[in-house]
Amino acid sequence: MSIVHVVAVITAKPGLRSQILDAFQANVPAVHAEDGCIEYVATVDADDVGPLQSRFGDDSFVVVEKWASLDALKAHAASPHMKAYAARTRDLIAERRVHVLTPA
């Protein structure tokens, strides 16, 4: 399998998104250093887009990722820093949906 794209939609418990994003940003350097990481960034709804956009909402953010291979993504998911991040944020998250995609 070639490049893998990931879109992860994270919904925080009400009012806790900034706490999760702080933990996410602290973890970014370790993720960027991983073998096979091409892109890993948290994104939020853009302002002033109007009817063109369907908003995720104030408690949600979307992680946009690109990995060199499925094996690299699997190694990322099993890494110690991701396990630590999951433990730090577990009680702050209301819902997490992860979509793993390949080029059409």
Percent of the chain residues topping a pLDDT of 70: 99
pLDDT at position 1: 62
Mean pLDDT of 64-93: 97
Mean pLDDT of 42-71: 96
Which residues contact residue 33 at a Cβ distance below 8 angstroms, ignoring those fewer than 6 apart? Answer: none
Name the DSSP letter for residue 31: H
Q: Cα–Cα distance between 102 and 69 in angstroms, integer?
A: 10
Q: Are 22 and 89 in contact (CB under 8 A)?
A: no
Q: Are 34 and 77 in contact (CB under 8 A)?
A: no
pTM, full prediction: 0.93
Mean pLDDT of 18-44: 98
